[in-house]
C-alpha cells in the first residue's frame, strides 16, 4: 500500500478523509446510518417495481401490485408482470452478490480498486463456464456452477500470485494490472472457444455481457444456496475487515487471525462471484462502484457497509436493466453494458485519485 494512504487507513472506522470535518457523535452517526439504510431500501423497492412494470409492454404500479397480491390468470397484464418476476429476482440476487463480494475484496486486500471484474475473478469463472459448455457439454446453470467456482478461485490465486512478484508485494497498481492481464488472457481463450460455434454464438454473446433476460426459476434456485452461504461467510467477517483496515499487526493484537479470516472470506467471494457469473454472466463494476458509494454515505464501518452494499448493489443492476430496456426500443441493451458505462469512469477516477480514497 502506498505511503499516501497510510494515514487514511489508520483513521477511525467511521472517519472520512476530509480535513476539518467535525466528528459525529456515535448516536447521531447510527441515526444517519439507519436513515441511509432506509433510503436504500426505498430506492430498491422503487427499482424493483420499475423492473416489473417497464418493458416492451409498460404497466402501471397498480397492475404490478394486483399481480403480486391477487394474481388473475385471465388478466394479460398481470401475466406479463408474473413473467418478469424471475428476471427481477435474478437481478436482486446477482446485484447483492457482486456488491458484497466487491466490498469484501476491498476489505481483505485494503485495495480501493478491488472488484470481481477488475481483478479477473469474473473472467476466470466465465472462461471455465464456457469451457464446460463446449468441452464437457454443460447445459444448465446448475452445471455451470461447478465450473464457475474453480475458475473464479484459480483466477483469484493467479492474480494475487502475479501481483506479489517483486519486492513491493501486491500493491494496488500491480493487482489492477495483473487483473487486467488475466482478464485479457481469459477473454482470448474464451473467444478461441467460440470460433466455429456460429449456431450458439448469439446465446453466449448475450450471456457474456451480463444479461438478466430469460432467467428461469430453475436457474435461480440452483445458485441461491451457494449465494446464501457466501453471503453468510462475508457478513460474519465484518469485525475482521474493520480490524484489517488498521493493519495486520493491529488486527492480531485485537484477537483476529488475518490469514485464516482472509481464507474464509475468500471462499465466500468465490461462492458469490461463481454463482453470479453462472447465472448472469460476467457483470463488471458493481463490486467497485457500490462499496465506494456506501462509504461516502455511512463511513468505513463494515457492520454498515456490507448490508447497505447488498441493498444498493441490486438497485444499480436492476436500474441498469430497466434503462437497457428503454434506451434502444424495440431492442434491449444488456444490463452488464449499462453497468460498464457507469463503472468505467468511476474506475478511471479511482486510479487518478487513488491516494485520496479511504478504506
d(CA 158, CA 324): 34
d(CA 251, CA 116): 25
Helix ranges, 195-301 (H): 198-208, 217-235, 238-244, 248-253, 258-280, 286-298
Per-residue pLDDT at 86 exceeds 90: yes
Neighbours of 196 (CB within 10 A): 9
Q: What is the pLDDT of residue 322?
A: 93
Q: pTM here? A: 0.84
Determine contact, residues 138/149, Cβ cutoff 8 Å. no
Span 7-26, average pLDDT: 42
pLDDT single digits (tens) 130-140: 888 777 777 77
pLDDT single digits (tens) 259-311: 888 889 989 999 999 999 889 888 888 998 999 999 989 988 999 999 999 99
Q: What is the pLDDT of residue 232?
A: 96
Residues 6+ apart with CB under 8 A from 96: 227, 231, 310, 311, 313, 314
Mean model confidence pLDDT for the chain: 83
pLDDT single digits (tens) 20-70: 334 455 666 788 899 999 999 999 999 999 999 998 888 888 999 999 988
Task: Give percent of the chain with pLDDT exceeding 90.
Answer: 36
User: What are the boundaries of each domain within the chain?
Assistant: 3-356
Residues 6+ apart with CB under 8 A from 285: 115, 117, 118, 339, 340, 342, 343, 344, 346, 347
Topology adopted by domain 3-356? ABC transporter involved in vitamin B12 uptake, BtuC (1.10.3470)
Per-residue pLDDT at 256 exceeds 70: yes
pLDDT single digits (tens) 175-216: 778 888 888 898 888 777 777 665 556 556 666 666 788 788
| Angle (nearest 5°) at CA 156 between 153 and 159 | 150
d(CA 301, CA 299): 6
pLDDT single digits (tens) 101-159: 999 999 988 887 788 877 888 888 888 888 887 777 777 788 888 899 999 999 988 98
Amino acid at each position: 500500500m502506498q505511503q499516501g494512504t497510510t494515514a487514511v487507513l489508520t483513521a477511525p472506522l467511521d472517519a472520512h478523509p476530509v480535513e476539518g470535518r467535525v466528528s459525529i457523535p456515535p448516536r447521531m452517526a447510527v441515526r444517519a446510518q439507519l436513515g441511509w439504510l432506509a433510503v436504500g431500501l426505498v430506492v430498491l423497492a422503487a427499482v424493483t417495481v420499475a423492473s416489473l412494470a417497464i418493458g416492451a409492454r409498460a404497466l402501471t404500479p397498480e397492475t404490478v401490485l394486483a399481480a403480486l397480491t391477487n394474481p388473475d390468470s385471465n388478466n394479460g397484464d398481470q401475466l406479463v408482470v408474473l413473467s418478469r418476476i424471475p428476471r427481477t429476482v435474478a437481478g436482486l440476487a446477482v446485484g447483492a452478490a457482486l456488491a458484497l463480494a466487491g466490498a469484501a475484496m476491498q476489505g481483505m486486500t485494503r485495495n480501493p480498486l478491488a472488484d470481481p471484474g477488475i481483478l479477473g475473478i469474473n473472467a476466470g469463472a466465465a472462461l471455465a463456464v464456457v469451457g464446460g459448455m463446449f468441452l464437457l457439454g454443460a447445459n444448465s446453470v446448475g452445471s455451470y456452477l461447478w465450473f464457475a467456482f474453480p475458475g473464479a478461485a484459480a483466477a483469484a490465486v493467479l492474480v494475487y500470485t502475479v501481483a506479489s512478484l517483486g519486492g513491493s508485494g501486491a500493491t494496488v497498481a500491480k493487482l489492477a494490472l495483473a487483473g487486467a492481464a488475466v482478464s485479457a488472457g481469459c477473454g482470448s481463450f474464451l473467444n478461441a472457444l467460440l470460433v466455429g460455434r456460429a449456431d450458439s454464438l448469439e446465446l453466449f454473446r448475450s450471456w457474456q455481457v451480463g444479461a438478466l433476460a430469460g432467467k428461469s426459476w430453475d436457474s435461480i434456485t440452483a445458485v441461491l444456496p451457494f449465494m446464501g452461504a457466501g453471503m453468510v461467510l462475508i457478513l460474519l467477517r465484518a469485525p475482521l475487515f474493520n480490524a484489517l483496515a488498521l493493519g495486520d499487526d493491529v488486527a492480531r493484537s485485537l484477537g483476529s487471525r488475518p490469514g485464516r479470516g482472509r481464507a474464509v472470506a475468500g471462499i465466500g467471494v468465490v461462492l458469490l462471484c461463481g454463482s453470479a457469473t453462472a447465472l448472469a454472466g460476467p457483470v463488471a463494476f458493481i463490486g467497485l462502484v457500490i462499496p465506494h458509494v456506501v462509504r461516502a454515505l455511512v463511513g468505513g464501518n463494515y457492520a454498515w457497509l456490507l448490508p447497505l452494499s447488498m441493498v444498493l448493489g441490486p438497485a444499480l443492476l436492476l436500474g441498469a436493466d430497466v434503462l437497457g430496456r428503454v434506451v434502444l426500443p424495440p431492442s434491449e441493451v444488456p444490463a452488464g453494458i449499462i453497468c460498464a458505462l457507469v463503472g468505467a469512469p468511476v474506475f478511471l477516477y479511482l486510479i487518478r485519485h487513488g491516494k485520496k480514497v479511504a478504506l
